[in-house]
Structure 1
């Protein structure tokens, strides 16, 4: 197999006109250059240079390899430049997975910051719901996923977890509900109420709600099951029941509901960024996390 570095030495000799001149230009001894050329000729199986007076001139095979050395040198320079761009975060792909309420509040301004500061990055954004976004990172399909804790299983090896914020749940009542007069509710006060459920599929969010009610001594009686928080607010406003909804899920609250803090217990979901370990130090990922924290600080 031909060695690219020796081909570059051959090109230097041909363009310099002699082994001595090439050695001086490259910072080698003439004997070292001669050894490189001898090895290259053995690899090629053909003579590459012939002596002419005190200099050398290339054979047709030498000219051929010299031309290819130039092309390979150009491509190598491009590859090294592209690799530098990638390592410094100016190019590449950043795959982000998220759930709906994070997508509405946290992800858009953070993605805008990445696009502004790293315009060469190709963004791959995908809403993953009702499924869990975590497997997207664990399987290597994504670099970052916005996920909810606590969860039943720890992240797989090769996934780093960074805490972003705690998102408390709020009691959501019809405006005409008698408990709407109170500023803070004990969760047990909602034990006998009909409930509007949102997170009807098994998962972290449903576990948080059901476990909080269990800690307050009851099992919620779900009379309506919905798939999103805005629809749940509509059912609550219509008097179908009460609900617990995390603050991020409230968005612009429905005009027909009242939102109150709850205690004993005060449930919350902890939102984290799950990051593939190999992506943790990418500049675009650092920008993404910093922008999310800025968004949270502004909205706090």
Structure 2
């Protein structure tokens, strides 16, 4: 029995993403090409690997077994590549990094520039990506590093084949309309005022609710905004208060007062994730970028600034669903 490693990668993508269409998009081929590869791999394996389920497909028991081994094969190849890279003199190669918008601009871009300055043969490529999609792309091998976020009391669980690398903390700030004249940073003084929060089932909303409950009240949420730029605009219009992480405050519109949240103190944690290599060191190129990411932060605390009236918070990120 001869199994083609390229077809094993196709099977791995289908198993990971749950459909031929999603696997094809990740592999940059057509769905028919993926289907053809699966048919050929089934012939090589001597078993049917997928079967119809409604309008989609599912893996057969044989497909599940082979998909598990396919991951082991791909992991072994990556370990071999990392081992060979470690023997080279100097740091070289390509590192593909996925990150949400504000981290990509404030943290990843400066880290990539520093890494490239130290290692001229290093090629760092930055891709803006939402958390859930970037995790899938990391596990499939489309990305080498992803930068994720989690809020106090809303931890992000990771599967066993991913390693976590702390980057920085991102303190939450209280933002209010400038004419409210409240300057203590204590949520308890805002119990009777309107609030702006994220959509249902997002970590941002759960973090806001938890902080307000710690302060002894249930917030009167009048407006919903997933994009922090919209949150800032709603506050600037005098429509309510909100909690926003510092990296989303690099461009603050007029009409918004920003103050550190002093009671209760809460924060967003930002961390990088890589594929676990079973004890094998990461490629030197990946390690070089991680070293810069976990070094001096790209944006020091208190670095937010006011925007001119015609500038929106274009670098603000969104509160993604987990």
SS in 2 for 1:105: helix
Decide which of 158, 162, 165 is 2:165's aligned counterpart: 162
Q: What is the correspondence of 1:168-183 to structure 2 with a 5 Å cutoff?
A: 168-179=171-182, 182=183
Distance 1:96 1:297, change over 3 A: closer
Name the count of aligned residue pairs: 216
Contact 1:200 1:226 in 2 (8 A): yes
C-alpha separation between the residues in 2 aligned to 1:100 and 1:201? 21
Question: TM-score, normalised on structure 2?
Answer: 0.58
Give the superposition deviation at 1:295. 3.8
Give the superposition deviation at 1:136. 3.3
Give the superposition deviation at 1:268. 0.7
Structure 1 residue runs without a partner (length 5+): 1-79
Aligned alpha-carbon RMSD (Å): 3.0
SS in 2 for 1:288: helix
Indicate yes or no: 2:183 matched with 1:149.
Answer: no
Match of 1:220 in 2: 219
Give the superposition deviation at 1:280. 5.7
Indicate yes or no: 2:288 matched with 1:287.
Answer: yes
C-alpha separation between the residues in 1 aligned to 2:191 and 2:166? 32
The one-character-per-residue Cα deviations of 1:54-110 (angstroms, maximum 9, x if unpaired) are: xxxxxxxxxxxxxxxxxxxxxxxxxx9xx5588556443312111111112101111
Contact 2:169 2:269 in 1 (8 A): yes
Give the superposition deviation at 1:241. 1.0
Distance 1:101 1:298, change over 3 A: closer
Match of 1:193 in 2: 193
Give the superposition deviation at 1:166. 1.4
Match of 1:97 in 2: 98
Structure having the larger proportion of residues in helix: 1
Rg larger for: 1
Contact 1:89 1:284 in 2 (8 A): no
The one-character-per-residue Cα deviations of 1:184-226 (angstroms, maximum 9, x if unpaired) are: 32212222221222x4263433332222223223333332222
Contact 1:226 1:232 in 2 (8 A): yes
SS in 2 for 1:291: helix
